[in-house]
Structure 1
Amino acid sequence: MFVARLNGLSVFDPLGDEVGRVRDVVVTLTGRAASHGPRVIGLAVEVPGRRRVFVPITRVTSIDTGQVITTGLVNLRRFQQRPGETLVVGELFDRQVTVAEEGQRVPAVIEDIAMDQERGGDWRLTKLFVRKGVPAARAGSGLRLRRRRGETMLVDAEAVEGLQEAGPAQAATALLEAYEDLKPQDLAEAIHDLSPKRRAEVADALDDETLADVLEELPDDDRLEILTHLPSDRAADILEVMQPDDATDLLADLPVATQEELLQLMEPDEAADIRRLLTYDEDTAGGLMTTEPVILGPEATIAEALALVRREELHPATASLVYVTRPPHETPTGRLLGSVHIQRLLREPPHQSVGSILDADIDPVPPDATLGEVTRSLATYNLVALPVTDPEGRLLGAVTVDDVLDHILPPDWREDDDDTLREVRDA
């Protein structure tokens, strides 16, 4: 069974209920048992809630090309890689090794690995599918991957040297091919499980848009680690692509001198929005808001509004409300006239103007409103977004419920799912 084909397969319990999907294979490369070939000790399985759990290989009763069957209960505690454990997809794919060929050692790169079950029931890595040569890593190559060159060969694991050592910087071509079906949120979960060195290598291989989406989903420590690893000019490009509020949160954790260096490298308009957000306290409406909500003039048609909120790059919460203002229509705008919910847009004739269906009952909040005040306003109006205005009534931005949740939940909520839910419930 080749690991690249195993990756993504559904995992079922004995009753036929789906538990999750295989996202990696966990092996041990060292020790006495590894002398007969690296031993498979379990699977990293993604379960609902974007959490990865460990399923011991001893609990697996069947693996075929379409599914994995397990027996017994699955421990839903989040998978934590232990010392001596190696992730096949995350760490061995793209590793540079040497293979024996006609009495010589030939450099090669691992693209896939096969695992076989022995008579005693143990699974071991037995063969490696490699591509001869050492390709040059290319930063920002993205998920649309180039056709790779070089002769491929299938070799026995015993004929390979360098499998146990991480060695020089790895590319991430095969890894990203294995994960190309993942959404940014799930890719962030996969990257979080990697070592710092491997995280940096994967970040180098992602295109700017994908890396920006991934950084918005990673824990603070991981995304700060990745951003500081990047060259300054690319870090500035990534910050430009990110949502302004997320970019501001990330910059706020950097030294002032580094903040200023990156802001100077950004486009002036993008930097101006972030400079403005940096002036607000983190737990206020100004610190929480995005400066890029959907804004139109009162004469715009409902058809125009629907075309704007239909844009793929918009977060659902941001697209839920259209804000109608006097010109200019970029924050800070002219006076806010009112808001229109997307549901109201869907119920009215497309040729009608948005100014004729305004909801003026949604009270905006000032930029210095506290997190508690913002939360109560969202709950009062049953909204997922809320306008933020200055004393003159000009729209400065909008706070969305996802940003509020990020600040209400404990800092490590992405990592400790069960404990996090318990803390929120007890609070």
Structure 2
Amino acid sequence: MTEATPQPIPDSAATLHLSQLLKSPVIAGSGESIGRVDDLIVRLTGGDAYPAITGVVVGVGGRQVFVSADRIREFGADRIVLSVNKVDLRSFERRDGEVLLKADILGHRLIDVAAAELVRAYDVELDQTPEGWVLARLDTRRPAQFFGLIRSSGGHASRDWKAFEPLIGHSGSQTARGISVRLRGLKPAELADLLEDADKHERGEILDQVHGDPELEADVFEELDSDQSSRILNSMSDGEVAALLGRMRADDAADSILELRQSRRRRVLDLMPPGQRVKVITLMGFNPDSAGGLMNVDFVSCAPNSTVSQALSIVAAASALQPEALLKMHVVEGGQLVGVVSVIALLQADPGRAISEIMDADPVRIGPEADLTDIALLMADYNLYLLPVVDDEDRVLGVVTVDDVLEDIIPEDWRRREPAPRPVREPAPAGKTPTQHPNGAAQL
């Protein structure tokens, strides 16, 4: 049995704003005033449907009580009318999975998934559907102010709710929702940028979400700036840090170890997987700004008499290595580097041909003590994306990739620069899929 496709909200549906409803009177079916609206409740199911209003939190005589949505006869901008004459006066208690629109959304920041940035919700729009009222859109435009007083800006800059990932700040709701599919869709660098912009509470919830996907968590930490990474690592236990660093690239893990307090380094190293620990300790022996400190110790290699087909099989099997380290196959004989061949050359060559026939027998290489300038100049002069690092006997110690060089060579003031705005892509309405525009852009 397949799940029904959510229906789009009709253009003609009635619309209300949360700001209109808050503090509006709640009227019993008999006409008697019971209290005032303190908040509205929805449940975030994680599916593709718009969240339905499940109830109202009503302020009654100094306490908050719950009124179920099925007991409401009329939603209006100036009042809510019930279909019953009495309400349960027991104090409202939030259940796991429930989200309060005023307490959790209004005035709080959410993740704008398309732009990969944190934005604040200044109002919430509700639409009436045949199934009831639903959370449909958010207004993220800051209201105009005049002498400190908020004034209406003449309309609402509303955007589809599905464009956002909320940061609820309530552990029960977060657990009930699970890991967000939309957060999984962001690139690690984008998640790292969000963490760097987030306040303490926002950062905690993003980290909790990312922590549910260990590989994604490792990728995100590789992208964090050193100050932010250090703060987060120092808030984690030794075991948590060791597990995280065990999944990271060895060069990034070595940098992170050095960001820990001296008293913690040995404890964390002892808890790391043995293979990763050896790699990290090796890298820690080099100056962090040298080729030895920048290099990744994982790379692919084969013998000169290997065939093209065998070399490509080695590349295909190296799924755990970063893609940048797979750009070239290193040809090793007797432990020494005797040549390199690009993966592109392998793909274009006869599968049965010997590697020795197509390799560059005098590859550009560099020693572990070389500094960042030497590395950058060599890469620029020879148009390299990857540079092998060798010892005095020409044994390969690791490889430096262009992304590591760029990360270290970019000036600090560039990093603080506001990035160019990304085009915002709204989710496709239900029943429609994006089509490709002749210029390459997607359109509906």
TM normalised by structure 2 equals 0.57
Task: Classify 1:113/1:107 alpha carbon distance in 2 versus 1 (closer, same or farther; 3 Å).
Answer: closer
**Secondary structure class of the residue paired with 1:250:** helix
Instruction: Give deviations 1:368-416, integer Å, cap 9, x for gaps.
Output: 0111111111112111000000001110000001000111013465542
**Secondary structure class of the residue paired with 1:416:** coil
Instruction: Give deviations 1:79-105, integer Å, cap 9, x for gaps.
Output: xxxxxxxxxxxxxxxxxxx97253332
Instruction: Please report how far the alpha carbon of residue 110 of structure 1 lies from its aligned counterpart in structure 2 after TM superposition.
Output: 4.9
Instruction: Give deviations 1:45-96, integer Å, cap 9, x for gaps.
Output: xxxxxxxxxxxxxxxxxxxx9xxxxxxxxxxxxxxxxxxxxxxxxxxxxxxx
Task: Classify 1:177/1:316 alpha carbon distance in 2 versus 1 (closer, same or farther; 3 Å).
Answer: closer
**Secondary structure class of the residue paired with 2:411:** coil
User: What is the letter of the counterpart of residue 124 of structure 1?
Assistant: V
Instruction: Please report how far the alpha carbon of residue 274 of structure 1 lies from its aligned counterpart in structure 2 after TM superposition.
Output: 0.7
**Secondary structure class of the residue paired with 1:216:** helix
Task: Classify 1:287/1:128 alpha carbon distance in 2 versus 1 (closer, same or farther; 3 Å).
Answer: farther
Instruction: Please report how far the alpha carbon of residue 312 of structure 1 lies from its aligned counterpart in structure 2 after TM superposition.
Output: 4.8
Task: Classify 1:358/1:167 alpha carbon distance in 2 versus 1 (closer, same or farther; 3 Å).
Answer: closer
Task: Classify 1:303/1:411 alpha carbon distance in 2 versus 1 (closer, same or farther; 3 Å).
Answer: farther
5 Å-filtered alignment, 1:231-250, equals 231-250=237-256
User: What is the letter of the counterpart of residue 107 of structure 1?
Assistant: R
Show structure 1 runs of 5+ residues with no match.
Answer: 6-26, 39-64, 66-97, 117-121, 130-162, 328-333, 420-427
Match of 1:196 among 192, 195, 200: 200
Task: Classify 1:169/1:336 alpha carbon distance in 2 versus 1 (closer, same or farther; 3 Å).
Answer: farther
Could you tell me which residue of structure 2 aligns to residue 22 of structure 1?
none
Could you tell me which residue of structure 2 aligns to residue 94 of structure 1?
none
Match of 2:279 among 273, 276, 279: 273
Q: Is the 8 A contact 1:114 1:125 kept in 2?
A: no
| The structure with more radius of gyration | 2
Show structure 2 runs of 5+ residues with no match.
Answer: 1-5, 7-17, 24-35, 40-48, 50-63, 68-87, 106-121, 127-132, 136-165, 421-444
Q: Give, in whole Å, the separation in 2 of the partners of 1:267 and 1:176.
A: 29
Alignment length (residue pairs) = 291
> Are 2:187 and 1:180 aligned?
no
RMSD after superposition: 3.9
Instruction: Please report how far the alpha carbon of residue 280 of structure 1 lies from its aligned counterpart in structure 2 after TM superposition.
Output: 0.9
User: What is the letter of the counterpart of residue 209 of structure 1?
Assistant: E
TM normalised by structure 1 equals 0.59
Instruction: Give deviations 1:273-327, integer Å, cap 9, x for gaps.
Output: 1111111111110011000012222233322322343455443321111111135
Instruction: Please report how far the alpha carbon of residue 36 of structure 1 lies from its aligned counterpart in structure 2 after TM superposition.
Output: 8.4
Match of 1:217 among 208, 211, 223: 223
Q: Is the 8 A contact 1:321 1:342 kept in 2?
A: yes
Instruction: Give deviations 1:110-131, integer Å, cap 9, x for gaps.
Output: 5667799xxxxx84366888xx
Could you tell me which residue of structure 1 aligns to residue 93 of structure 2?
106
Task: Classify 1:175/1:103 alpha carbon distance in 2 versus 1 (closer, same or farther; 3 Å).
Answer: farther
5 Å-filtered alignment, 1:82-101, equals 100-101=66-67
Could you tell me which residue of structure 1 aligns to residue 376 of structure 2?
375
Could you tell me which residue of structure 2 aligns to residue 53 of structure 1?
none
User: What is the letter of the counterpart of residue 103 of structure 1?
Assistant: L
Q: Is the 8 A contact 1:171 1:202 kept in 2?
A: no
Instruction: Work out the percentage of aligned pairs sharing the same amino acid.
Output: 31
Task: Classify 1:277/1:376 alpha carbon distance in 2 versus 1 (closer, same or farther; 3 Å).
Answer: same
**Secondary structure class of the residue paired with 2:227:** helix
